[in-house]
Amino acid sequence: MTSAWSGKHITVAGLGVSGISAARALAGLGARVTVVDGGDNEVLRDRAASLAAGDITVRLGAAIDSVSDAGTTLPEGTDLVVTSPGWRPDSPLFAAAAERGIDVVGDVEIAWQLRGEGAAPWLAVTGTNGKTTTVQMLASILEAAGLRTAAVGNIGTPIIDVVLSQEPYDVLAVELSSYQLHWAPSLRAHSAAVLNLAPDHLDWHGSMAAYAADKGRIYEGNKVACVYNVADPATERLVQQADVEEGCRAIGFTLGPPGLSELGVVDGILVDRAFVPDRRTSAQELAEVADIAPATGQPAAPHNIANALAAAALARAFGVEPAAVRDGLRAFRPDAHRIAHVADVDGVAYVDDSKATNTHAAEASLAAYGSIVWIAGGLAKGATFDELVAASAKRLRGVVLLGADRRLIGEALARHAPDVPVTDLDRTDTGAMAAAVREAARLARPGDTVLLAPACASMDMFANYNKRGDAFAEAVLALAAGREADA
């Protein structure tokens, strides 16, 4: 393995978690590594110093992205560029690489190439929403089956670190973003799922067609199963367009009774008509809907039932027995800020779904409740909100808007839900969340749900969606305690 990389000059784009992982791994295999990053601050300088101690060169500063001259942008002698997921395809660095005929790949591609003899198969998941939850459910199911596994990729430990681990794995549950798939041309999973497709990151991909094509790369070369969402025909089209190994099957999942070669739900039971001996006439019970994250104490939202079915399909494709599906779903614990029940105050439930950073995720979240006071807004990332509001209008008791692009949501509400009371908070400071919770409490009635499902990114007001969710929870708990949160 070392001889294949020894002496190569590799430029790593980005000094984040995946960039650091790739740089250290490749340097350890004998490559000459230079890391470039357009930023220059104390955090990055500390990271650069740490890498420099391992004979890795680091270049920081605006010149990396702002200078278009190939000789300045791309380190001389570069044989390969390894990019972090967020770097745009039209970056000057990549233009310089293309001009010289140098390949650009991502850390997932490097991890795939670094796999050794008898390496663990990958069960891969992508989609606009639900990836992390599904991969965590899948890992929980695999663990319940007694398999050594890890949830990796766009989640948890960097995938290169896991691939190079001294401890062998039986199988990996791999979350892959559209960015990562764009830069992973040789990836060939055991089985893979596309959960759903909706407009997102179009500023990065350039079009919905390009975004969908990158998502569809996850099916290329699949060996056993391509799992798709029956309710989202675009995912099945990606299966139909994929070049897979002979014998690989298309497996659907649905919230209704399953058809042939599908997993679905019958009378509150998750059932399998895909991986059973006589799927034409019989089905296998896997788990009850009530088995999905029972520790939350809340009924499973429809989109989490769909996530569970997708995870179960991938596990069954790997040969996992039904009992492990049930036990894994029971053991699963969702991350914070994903349909997280914070508290009940005066008969009103307060739910944090700060992770709903796009319209598709917000629509799924809104569909889980009957009467809602909706807290929404932030950075729209080029999204429009008419379809979301039109689909959810009948559920809305009221709406509280905040954030930089709240006007876009407000205009959609005026068109499609003109009778719904709207409070427009003309603020983008972090304290606005406490004010939003107070306004939502004023609009809510017993039996309602106050739902933070912003449909927007958080960076106009918060460092990330976690901080936004934390601010919501803090404000709700202050409300429950009868005191004022900082506003």
Q: In whole angstroms, what separates CA 340 from the centre of its chain? A: 17
What is the dihedral sign for C-alpha 177, 182, 187, 188? positive
Q: Can you spell out the DSSP letters for 12-28?
A: EE--SHHHHHHHHHHHH
The residues of the chain scoring below 50 in pLDDT are 1-2, 62-72
Residue-wise pLDDT tens digits, 387-420: 999 999 999 999 999 999 999 999 999 999 999 9
What per-residue confidence (pLDDT) applies to 1?
43
Residue-wise pLDDT tens digits, 91-125: 888 989 999 999 999 999 999 999 988 899 999 99
Domains and CATH numbers, the chain: 8-102 (3.40.50.720), 112-331 (3.40.1190.10), 340-480 (3.90.190.20)
What per-residue confidence (pLDDT) applies to 71?
33
Contacts of 266 (CB under 8 A, 6+ apart): 257, 258, 283
Confirm whether pTM is higher than 0.85: no
Average pLDDT taken over every residue of the chain: 90
What per-residue confidence (pLDDT) applies to 208?
85
- Could you give phi then psi for residue 205, rounded to 5 degrees? -85, -25
H or E element at residue 476? helix 465-480
Distance (Å, whole) CA 368 – CA 363: 9
What per-residue confidence (pLDDT) applies to 200?
67
Q: Can you spell out the DSSP letters for 252-283?
A: EE-SS---TTEEEEETTEEEESSSSTTTTT--
Q: How many residues does the chain have?
A: 487
